[in-house]
Chains A and B, each alone.
Chain A
Amino acid sequence: MGQVIKVGMADLKICKAPDVLTTIGLGSCIGIALYDPTTKISGLAHIMLPDSTQIRNNSNIAKFADTGIQKLYDDMLKAGANKSKLVAKIAGGAKMFEMSNGSGSGINIGEKNARASKEKLKQLGIPLKAEDTGLNYGRTVELYSETGVYLIKAVGKDVKEI
Chain B
Amino acid sequence: MLSLEEVNEKYIDVLKEIGNIGAGNATSAIANMLGLKIDMSVPEVQFLPVEKIGESMGAEDEVIVGIMLGVESDIEGSMMFLMDMDSAHHIINRLMMRPADYNEPFDEMDLSAVKEIGNIIAGSYLSALSGLTNLVITPTIPFVSVDMAAAILSVPAIQFGMMGDNALMIKTEFSDELAINGYFILMPEEDSYEKILTSLGLSL
- A: which residues have CB within 8 A of B? 8-11, 24-29, 48-49, 55, 57, 59-60, 63, 94, 96-99, 101, 103-106, 109, 136-140, 155-156
Contacts and interface: CB of A to CB of B under 8 A. Distances in A.
Contacts of A27: 147-148, 150-155
B187 A105 contact: yes
A15 B198 CA distance: 49
B161 A63 contact: yes
Interface in B150-196: 150-159, 161-165, 187, 189
Given A10-B51, A10-B161, A96 B70 contact: no
Interface size grouping (class) on chain B: 35 or more
A103 B71 contact: yes
B151 A137 contact: yes
Nearest to A8: B51
A interface majority secondary structure: loop
B154 A25 contact: yes
A90 B203 CA distance: 43
A51 to B, nearest CB: 11
B interface majority secondary structure: mixed
Contact of B51 (A9, A103, A109): A9
Interface of B: 50-51, 53-54, 60-61, 63, 66, 68, 70-72, 76-78, 105, 140, 143-159, 161-165, 187, 189
A155 B147 contact: yes
Contacts of B50: 9-10, 48
A106 B105 CA distance: 30
12 contacts: A9-B51, A9-B150, A25-B61, A25-B151, A27-B150, A29-B154, A57-B165, A96-B155, A97-B155, A103-B77, A140-B148, A155-B148
B78 A104 contact: yes
A9 B156 CA distance: 13
B83 to A, nearest CB: 15
B62 to A, nearest CB: 9
Contacts of A138: 147-148, 150-152, 154
